């Protein structure tokens, strides 16, 4: 039996250990805090660190003064933390959690200290009180973190806008965005806010397309959104295997493998979707026979091919190109594997497949061309090409090649069948972070929406969202086509909504590109490595925006006061003048928002009957630095080139680029900016007024060192993939890193149903009706870049059958 003397002796040793821990922590904070103060930062860390150092010294010597000093530091930290947190639940954690635990331990050692102020009974009472206060505070804040309901008065539902697409959503989901208007909206009403909690899995289909070797080391991200036409679903896997399923049972009907080599995987093996096309003059023949490929499925592949197969059988369409394939890289000159890929669904307007393609970022400024091309949807014939540096070129060049390094369109286009216009969201020139070598045309069309005439391939108009983009703010979202109220009250104007990575939403006349809501130019920071190249102003949307306020030092976060202080030091050392801070090489610069958005390829969902748009978004900075060529070349000799999470060479440029996406701390992997890192917002289309806005994504799969916290609170996580909205007032979305698919009440913003997916849900869902039953389908394929589990499951939900 252990006697009191032994307990006292052991506790005394523990007090010494505690003293050493607090002394070391205080020393780090004091030294780092002094440096931070010299950089113009908060004085808290040097003051608090000095106090902790003194407390640790006296605790080691067994003096009660150590606990008194520690308690004084802790009380001061309480006041400072609540003042800085400004009501944010998550901002308090790194400031208080660790210090509160040490406070409780310090109280427990009081009885063995010299001139102890109380004994064991009082010590345990105080600790019990502290624990109860902590639990109560946690439950209270946890409730606040869970609180999502923000009941709003939605605009009254009217008639849905007429859809200019020949293929529209309803019982079917015949195009990537529901239709080529890209509204991601369905008129179906069987699943409602009142019965959505009864949703169950109707079926699960596994594609069988999984990475070779360890999935954790793969570059897979199966982002597909299936189509539904008639009784069939059509989808592509991560490596472009085409599959047809029965819409009611999920049973495989056919599959076609175009045999894409693993060598052609760029950043990610991904296929977001396919296109369905049925030619009117091929629909039937005498005797009611349907010819082969009267209806066809068309996809773009990772190795730069257009592939067309019969929608009924999956066999290649013999009348399309050569054996059902067309090579889009003809005329591009040298194309290394992985440099030219099609990861997004094709868009077909007036029988013309209009293609863009992904060009692998950051590898070389002599990258393949971003040329836009048109192909006949039946024959695969090359109809036209638009090379911005060779605007008079109609077809493929015979005197060389398409201009290299020009801006490309890697995402999904939308289109207006009657106007014959396809809306192409453009990216940036090769060498995203430097502009001195660009042509006038490249500056004009970089990060712009271009309306192309499908008959000629020539621009009808363009709208630029960044003046001389050196921030990789390429347009990732489809433009969404709507009818917008005219200012004089006389009817509506054919319009579109263009989301941007900066968070702005532009409402444009889709006939002319003229803004229908206010757009203004605001002075932008200059300087950087190319001061003469920086534009003096940048465009902003006066409303319809997701944009957040500029970062400040107190927005820095971490697991503990130490790494929060380190993030503050990084903040103070970096160049940061707000949005559009110019790229620098002598020090890091902060890009906020980072290149993942705002809005990215998931796009937005628009309920045109209610006049409400829903947008999920990212809210993270990047921590960047341009690296001089000679220094970069030494580093690159030991690194695989052209990765988003490594030094990108930008060969041929005077600098490589080092991008810390999300601004993560080494070791813990936590982000330097405090949560939320992602949100979801609903806003009124006409006024731009926010109806509700909240963090999106729980903390259950996130934590330090990659260890899931399993906390169910809405911290707001990074997200990729978009929402859909139904006429019953539901928003369905996965996208976040918590592996959940959720139904959100459009009226309140509250999550009213959710299910855990078998892998990450980095895809946009879709909904359809079959035999009187409404289904919601999501691809749970995961994503290496989002650090979610890789999978191959297509999951369908429906209400229980009666």
Rounded to whole angstroms, how far apart are CA atoms 157 and 746? 12
Binned at pLDDT 50, 70 and 90, residue 2 comes out as very low
Give the Cα separation of 51 and 60 in Å (integer): 14
- Rounded to an integer, what distance in angstroms lies between the CA atom of residue 36 and that of residue 46? 8
Q: Is 416 a catalytic site residue?
A: no
For residue 226, give Cα distances in angstroms to 677, 763, 764.
28, 10, 9
Q: Which of 472, 555, 619, 684 is catalytic?
A: 472
Residue 593 pLDDT > 90: yes
Strand 200-206's sheet: what is its strand order?
200-206, 793-798, 773-780, 766-770
- The pTM of the full predicted model, rounded to 2 decimals, is 0.94
pLDDT in tens, 86-114: 777 788 888 988 898 898 888 888 888 87
pLDDT of residue 624: 97
**pLDDT (average), residues 467-482:** 97
Q: CA-CA distance, 535 to 436, in Å (whole number)?
A: 12
Give the model confidence (pLDDT) of 534-578 as tens digits: 999 999 999 888 888 999 999 999 888 999 999 999 999 999 999
Taking the C-alpha atoms of residue 361 and residue 643, their distance in angstroms, rounded to an integer, is 8
234, pLDDT greater than 90? yes
Q: How confident is the model at residue 215 (pLDDT cuts 50, 70, 90)?
A: low
Residue 644 has pLDDT above 60, yes or no: no
pLDDT at 243: 98
Q: How confident is the model at residue 1, as a pLDDT?
A: 43
**Nearest CA among 541, 621, 614, 610 for reference residue 579:** 621
| Whether residue 190 has pLDDT greater than 80 | yes
- How many whole angstroms separate alpha carbon 233 and alpha carbon 240? 15
Lowest mean pLDDT among 230-239, 417-426, 543-552: 543-552
Contact 271, 240 (CB under 8 A): yes
- State the average pLDDT over residues 403-417: 97
Q: Determine contact, residues 596/620, Cβ cutoff 8 Å.
A: yes
**What is the overall mean pLDDT for the chain?**
91
Burial class (CB in 10 A: 0-12, 13-18, 19+), 772: exposed
pLDDT of amino acid 256: 98
Cα separation values, 779 from 65, 238, 317, 556, 791, Å: 60, 11, 27, 34, 9
Is the separation of the CB atoms in 742 and 734 below 8 Å?
yes
The tens digit of pLDDT for each residue in 505-538 reads 999 999 999 999 999 999 999 999 999 999 999 9
The length of the chain in residues reads: 802
pLDDT tens digits, residue range 305-314?
Answer: 999 999 999 9
Instruction: Give pLDDT, residue 112.
Output: 81
- pLDDT band with cut points at 50, 70 and 90 for residue 3: low
- Residue 104 DSSP class: H
pLDDT exceeding 90 applies to what percent of the chain?
76
Q: pLDDT value at position 97?
A: 86
State the pairing for strand pair 724-726/185-186.
Answer: parallel
pLDDT computed for residue 139 by the predictor: 57
The predicted pLDDT at position 138 comes to: 60
pLDDT of residue 145: 47
More confident residue, 358 or 490: 358
């Amino acid at each position: 039996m252990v006697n009191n003397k032994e307990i006292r002796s052991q506790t005394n040793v523990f007090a010494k250990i505690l003293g050493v821990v607090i002394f070391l922590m205080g020393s780090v904070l004091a030294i780092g805090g002094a440096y931070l103060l010299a950089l113009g930062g908060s004085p808290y860390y040097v003051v608090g660190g000095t106090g902790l150092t003194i407390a640790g010294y006296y605790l080691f010597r067994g003096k009660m003064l150590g606990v008194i000093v520690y308690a004084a530091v802790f009380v001061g930290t309480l006041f400072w933390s609540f003042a800085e947190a400004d009501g944010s639940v998550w901002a308090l954690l790194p400031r208080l959690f660790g210090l509160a635990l040490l406070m409780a331990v310090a109280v427990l050692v009081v009885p063995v200290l010299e001139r102890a102020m109380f004994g064991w009974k009082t010590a345990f009472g105080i600790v019990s009180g502290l624990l109860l206060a902590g639990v109560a505070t946690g439950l209270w804040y946890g409730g606040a973190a869970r609180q999502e309901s923000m009941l709003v008065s939605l605009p009254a539902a009217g008639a849905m806008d007429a859809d200019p697409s020949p293929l529209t959503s309803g019982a079917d989901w015949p195009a990537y965005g529901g239709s080529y208007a890209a509204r991601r909206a369905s008129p179906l009403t069987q699943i409602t806010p009142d019965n959505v909690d009864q949703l169950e899995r109707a079926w699960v289909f596994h594609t069988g397309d999984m990475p070779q070797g360890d999935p954790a080391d793969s570059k897979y991200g199966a982002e597909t959104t299936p189509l539904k036409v008639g009784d069939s679903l059509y989808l592509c896997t991560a490596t472009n295997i085409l599959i047809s399923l029965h819409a009611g049972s999920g049973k495989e009907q056919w599959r076609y493998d175009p045999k894409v080599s693993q060598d052609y995987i760029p950043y990610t093996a991904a296929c977001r979707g396919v296109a369905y096309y049925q030619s009117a003059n091929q629909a039937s023949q005498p005797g009611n026979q349907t010819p082969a490929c009267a209806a066809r499925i068309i996809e773009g592949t990772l190795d730069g091919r257009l592939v067309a197969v019969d929608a009924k059988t999956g066999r290649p369409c013999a009348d399309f190109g050569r054996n059902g394939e067309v090579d889009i890289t003809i005329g591009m000159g040298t194309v290394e594997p992985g440099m030219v890929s099609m990861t997004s669904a094709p868009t077909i307007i007036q029988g013309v497949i209009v293609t863009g393609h992904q060009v692998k970022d950051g590898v070389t400024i002599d990258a393949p061309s971003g040329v836009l091309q048109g192909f006949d949807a039946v024959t695969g014939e090359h109809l036209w090409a638009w090379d911005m540096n060779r605007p008079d070129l109609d077809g493929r060049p015979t005197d060389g090649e398409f201009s290299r390094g020009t801006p490309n369109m890697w995402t999904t286009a939308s289109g207006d069948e009657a106007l014959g216009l396809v809306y192409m969201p453009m990216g940036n020139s090769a060498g995203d972070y430097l502009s001195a070598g660009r042509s006038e045309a490249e500056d004009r069309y970089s990060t712009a929406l271009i309306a192309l005439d499908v008959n000629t391939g020539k621009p009808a108009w363009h709208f630029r969202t960044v003046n001389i983009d050196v921030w990789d703010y390429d347009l990732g979202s489809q433009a969404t086509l709507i009818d917008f109220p005219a200012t004089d009250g006389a009817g509506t104007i054919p319009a579109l909504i263009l989301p941007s990575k900066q968070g702005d939403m532009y409402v444009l006349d889709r006939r002319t590109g003229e803004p229908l809501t206010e757009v203004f130019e605001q002075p932008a920071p200059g300087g950087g490595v190319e001061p003469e190249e920086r534009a003096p102003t940048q465009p902003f949307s006066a409303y319809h925006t997701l944009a957040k306020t500029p970062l400040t030092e107190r927005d820095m976060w971490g697991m503990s006061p130490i790494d929060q202080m380190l993030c503050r030091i990084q903040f103070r050392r970096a160049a940061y003048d707000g949005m559009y801070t110019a790229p620098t090489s002598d020090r890091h610069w902060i890009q906020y928002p980072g290149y993942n958005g705002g809005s990215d390829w998931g796009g937005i969902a628009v309920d045109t009957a209610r006049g409400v748009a829903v947008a999920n978004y990212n809210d993270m900075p990047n921590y960047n630095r341009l690296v001089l060529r000679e220094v970069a070349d030494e580093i690159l000799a030991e690194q695989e080139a052209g990765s988003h999470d490594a030094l990108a060479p930008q060969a041929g440029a005077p600098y490589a680029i080092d991008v810390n996406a999300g601004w993560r701390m080494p070791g813990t992997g936590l982000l330097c900016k405090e949560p939320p890192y992602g949100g979801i917002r609903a806003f009124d289309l006409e006024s731009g007024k926010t109806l509700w806005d909240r963090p999106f994504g729980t903390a259950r799969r996130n934590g330090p060192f990659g260890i899931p916290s399993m906390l169910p609170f809405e911290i707001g996580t990074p997200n990729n993939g978009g929402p859909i909205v139904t006429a019953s007032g539901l928003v369905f979305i996965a996208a976040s890193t918590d592996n959940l698919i959720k139904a959100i009440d459009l009226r309140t913003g509250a999550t009213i149903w959710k299910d855990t997916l078998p892998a990450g849900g980095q895809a946009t869902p879709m909904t359809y009706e079959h035999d009187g039953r409404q289904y919601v389908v999501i691809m749970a394929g995961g994503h290496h870049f989002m650090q979610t589990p890789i999978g191959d499951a297509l999951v369908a939900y429906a209400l229980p059958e009666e």
